[in-house]
Amino acid sequence: MIDCEHFFDGYKANPAYALACAKTAYDAGARWVVLCDTNGGTQPPEIHDIVTAVIAHGVPGANLGIHAHNDTGQAVANSLAAVEAGVRRSRAR
């Protein structure tokens, strides 16, 4: 398992690099690639779109997780958006 801290902020800053990191972890044998909204500020539609991009880049939803922080009160909404996009493991805190 890899816990990709600050994944969504990193994706917004450099999508190609963030996608490469997630795919490399999966290709190296990570059973779970957990995408983290560490600052809790990503909006649910962004979560959905970014998770869709990760899956399209070759990390199957069956191996994806979401770890959504609740700094802005959106952890549950973000977790649901990620599940709707294909994530199969969720943790909101």
DSSP 9-36: HHHHH-HHHHHHHHHHHHHTT-S-EEEE
**Residue span of the structural domain in which 34 resides:** 2-87
Q: How many domains does the chain have?
A: 1
Determine the 3-state secondary structure of 55 from DSSP.
Answer: helix
- The answer to the question of residue 92 being in a domain is no
- The answer to the question of residue 9 being in a domain is yes
Model pLDDT for residues 48-72, shown as the tens digit of each residue? 999 999 999 999 999 999 999 999 9
- The answer to the question of residue 12 being in a domain is yes
Determine the 3-state secondary structure of 7 from DSSP.
Answer: helix
Specify the pLDDT at position 87: 96
Model pLDDT for residues 21-44, shown as the tens digit of each residue? 999 999 999 999 999 999 999 999
Specify the pLDDT at position 47: 98
Q: Across the beta sheet with 89-92, what order do the strands follow?
A: 2-4, 33-37, 64-68, 89-92
Specify the pLDDT at position 89: 78
Q: Name the CA radius of gyration of the chain, rounded.
A: 11
Question: What tokens were used for 9?
Answer: 């902020």
Specify the pLDDT at position 90: 66
- The answer to the question of residue 25 being in a domain is yes
- pLDDT surpasses 90 at 92: no
- The answer to the question of residue 32 being in a domain is yes
